[in-house]
Amino acid sequence: MQFLRNIFDNLRPNFEEGGKFEKYYKGFEAMETFAFTPGHTSHKGAHIRDAIDLKRTMFLVVIAMVPALLFGMWNTGHQYYLSIGELTGLGEGLIDKLIFGAIRVLPIVVVSYAVGLGIEFAIAIKNNHSVNEGYLVSGMLIPLVLPSEIPLWMVAVATAFAVVIGKEVFGGTGMNILNPALTARAFLFFAYPTKMSGNAVWIPQESGMAGVDGYTGETLLSQAYNAPTGTEFGTLAYDAAGQQYGSLADTMWASFWGWIPGSIGETSVFAILLGAAILIFTGIGSWRIMLSFLVGGLTMSLIFNAWGANSFMSVHPLQQLMMGSFMFGMVFMATDPVSAAQTTMGKWIYGFLAGFLGIMIRVFNPAYPEGIMMAILFMNVMAPLIDHYVVEANINRRLKRAKVAA
Amino acid sequence: MPKNVRIRKGADIKLVGAAERVKGEAPFASSFAIKPTEFHGLTPKMVVKEGAEVKAGSVIFFDKDNEHVKFTSPVSGEVAEIVRGAKRKILEVRIVPDQEQKFEQFDLSDLSSTEKVKTVLMSSGLWPMLKQRPYDVMANPQLKPKAIFISAFDSAPLGPDYDFILHGEQDSFQKGLEALSKLTDGKVHLTTRGGSAADATFTQAKGVEHNTITGPHPAGNVGIQIHHIDPINKGDIVWTISAQNVALMGKFLITGKVDLKKTIALAGSEVEKPRYLTTWVGASMKSIVEGQIKAGDNRIISGNVLTGDASSADGYLGFFDDVVTIIPEGNEPQFLGWLAPNFHKFSLSRSYFSWLNPGKKYKLNTNMNGEDRAYVVSGQYEAVLPMDVYPVQLIKSIMTNDLDKMENLGIYEVIPEDLALCEYACTSKMNVQSILRGGLDVAKQELG
């Protein structure tokens, strides 16, 4: 790799003070440190430092999203073939489905990264601060929470909005209040609701092609929402081709593996749990938030079960949690360390409330049968308040101790 | 009541090059130095000029704010050079020793009262061994601390083993403790490592409160021990002193001579034969490391790898340091270092493969392993700080210079070494210790 090192060393003078491209130093630095972990040594304090840095952290989060991305690509293809009545078996046409999905999904990923990183670099150069690695994760999260049929220009607009309004106006990664990827999704949801919800957005459609008989493209969530009172959703649920799953167990099976319509990366509980395992094992994702989020969602589902005013309330709790964005939100969105609560106690409260409110909004909201995004964004806003009270309690303990001693 | 504390948070970083338990002797150094900068907040007032002849125990300078606190020469010889920095700040006073050592003789005939003990400690130059909390400054002789704390072990990576160093120093240690107990109306706390047998020097010490603490580093940090045994509240004063300095103090109080010969550990992956050496306070680093150091670009640290000061072969052993650590410099860039498997690197998280082999000892270098960033990851500091303190919030309050918050969040209870592991663990590579030092200085200035 010496030749690459030489290239950077030769280019460096141009970007350093007095060089031709002095202004672009931060951009150069980002590229250089990406290629080579710098030989910076400690000057103050601890002489040795942990091997972990933000690049490794973010890279591992991206790795954790890869199962969901790959599955999402396959599922995009699978849903398409299901809707046209070809290769309907799960095992059939693996490569065809993957290629079809990749053609749909990868451009979204590319647009998200290109726009997001472009803005990040531009702002870093303008404000002369280092390019933060945070967007490596956001740039992957954004495609995974969108329907595969989203127009690319919308991805670009939403990404720009998320990076600028969601993050940079607050001072960049580490300073933001809201999760940038969810900001992008919320922006699209309110700006272009017809492209973010309904029955037409989840499954790729090619013009002039009619779906098979019974094809609807409806998500399970929407089916559960629309199920007539008194019926049991689990037994009535059907797939993209209109084929009924037959029993609650079969519906849950399909939801767990994820061959159902939905946002690109959100359908497969299995793929998401693989990601969760990576995040928890490496210590990068907070298991406390995930666990309390799960418990929160479960609690609300059970409360709704007990209430049982309509069939959506009566959905089996596990089925409730395996539909929609719940799992993805739990593993990848709520755990964003910057926008989540930062104290240990705060994480428990934050996670629980986010899961609890997520299911509550999902079931109560008449306009849109998904509430996880709203709940997490709401809890992002509340997280500093939660932390404030947790820290306040620590301060009070200290004051009390001083009084007892005095 | 003695306390037996168990902590879970923290981390033991296992490094190559632990000092073997054999005692060698470092050659008598050809140069010694006292560094006023080591005593935080001190403004030195010189007493001697370059060229003056001094004995071991002769006054070199004193504290401008408290002229009774003297700083004395560790050896007899000639004041060779007063090294000054910006604004003529005194950085080092170098002394070239005589071959034959001559000692000032101090009068110890009457040590009955607190005042007399204080006077003799101050005039002999041993007083500065006492550190004061809050703020980690030299003990103020006009105050009376609520307690004095001594940690009988060092849990830092490659830290010295006081059970070994002070083996057989029972009399000196006991004498030192007796003097210390005169300085406080409260208790003198001696804390040993729980679950293992300490040396008789510690276990048979009288007139002290014997506590134990069990758990990973920073269990041996006296600050952690104070927090769990008798925490510092607003307005409290606590003094601390290292175990070896108690023995040196005791030895002085027995002989009346300032004889600062002590044992240090020479450790680290770049030391040929890591072991213990006897040397003197203020000895030149050259006398300690010459011939002991492996080839290559190395960093010589006076102190341990987490809290020590970078030194060099031209430097001097720090006044408070009982270990010299030598590790490789890490100034080589690494291609795609964030992506490579890096089996040779160690991480407290499982983002590298060091979890595969928990017993493995690492040869870590001084590379930062990343660049400075804003805080992104949470929960890292808390995992290695066994205190009921919110470290990130405290550090942020210092960054924003919010004095009320610093006070409320417990700045009285911590000193930089307590947060050294937080600094080690930080993904965003914050210089936590120097930030905290800055906060302590602001707090001291504003709150007194």
Tens of pLDDT, residues A130-140 = 888 889 999 99
Per-residue confidence (pLDDT) for residue B239, from 0 to 100: 97
Residue B286: which pLDDT band, with cuts at 50, 70 and 90? very high
Q: Is the pLDDT of residue A64 over 90?
A: yes
Minimum distance, in Å, between the CA of residue B246 and any CA atom of chain A: 26
Q: Identify the helix (H) or strand (E) that includes residue B205.
A: none
Across all residues in chain A, what is the average pLDDT? Answer: 88
Burial grade of B296 (CB within 10 A; 0-12, 13-18, 19 or more): exposed
Residue A91: which pLDDT band, with cuts at 50, 70 and 90? confident
Q: Is the pLDDT of residue B158 over 90?
A: yes
Q: Is the pLDDT of residue B255 over 90?
A: yes
What does the alpha-carbon distance between residue B308 and residue B264 come to, in Å, rounded to a whole number? 14
Indicate the Cα dihedral angle A185, A187, A188, A194, nearest 10°.
120
Indicate the Cα dihedral angle B32, B33, B34, B36, nearest 10°.
-170
The residue type of A151 is: P
Give the pLDDT confidence of B349-389 residue by residue, as tens digits.
888 888 888 889 999 999 999 888 899 999 999 999 999 99
- The verdict on a CB contact (< 8 Å) between B349 and A401 is no
Beta bridge partners of B293: B271
Per-residue confidence (pLDDT) for residue A241, from 0 to 100: 73
- The verdict on a CB contact (< 8 Å) between A53 and B431 is no
Task: Please tell me whether residue A331 adopts helix, strand or coil conformation.
Answer: helix
Q: Is the pLDDT of residue A208 over 60?
A: no
- The verdict on a CB contact (< 8 Å) between A46 and B306 is yes
What tokens were used for B411? 């700045």
Among candidates A46, A284, A399 on the partner chain, residue whose Cβ is nearest the Cβ of B305: A46
Minimum distance, in Å, between the CA of residue B118 and any CA atom of chain A: 27
Per-residue confidence (pLDDT) for residue A371, from 0 to 100: 85
Q: Which residue of A has its CA nearest to B156?
A: A46
A31: closest CA among A4, A62, A54?
A: A4
Among candidates B349, B364, B376 on the partner chain, residue whose Cβ is nearest the Cβ of A174: B376
- The verdict on a CB contact (< 8 Å) between A37 and B345 is no
A220: closest CA among A260, A190, A249?
A: A260
> Is the Cβ of B364 closer than 8 Å to some Cβ of chain A?
yes
Average pLDDT over every residue of B48-63: 93
ipTM: 0.91
φ, ψ of residue A207 in degrees (nearest 5): -60, 145
Give the pLDDT confidence of B201-247 residue by residue, as tens digits.
999 999 999 999 999 999 999 999 999 999 999 889 999 999 999 99
Q: Is the pLDDT of residue A16 over 90?
A: no
Triad A194, A198, A200: Cα angle to 5°: 85
> Is the Cβ of A283 closer than 8 Å to some Cβ of chain B?
yes
Least confident of A28-37, A253-262, B5-14, B104-113: A28-37
- The verdict on a CB contact (< 8 Å) between B330 and A39 is yes
Average pLDDT over every residue of A69-77: 94
Among candidates B325, B351, B365 on the partner chain, residue whose Cβ is nearest the Cβ of A56: B351
Average pLDDT over every residue of B293-318: 94
| The overall pTM is greater than 0.90 | yes
> Is the Cβ of B365 closer than 8 Å to some Cβ of chain A?
yes
Average pLDDT over every residue of B20-49: 93
Q: Which residue of B has its CA nearest to A337?
A: B377
Residues of B in Cβ contact (< 8 Å) with A33: 371
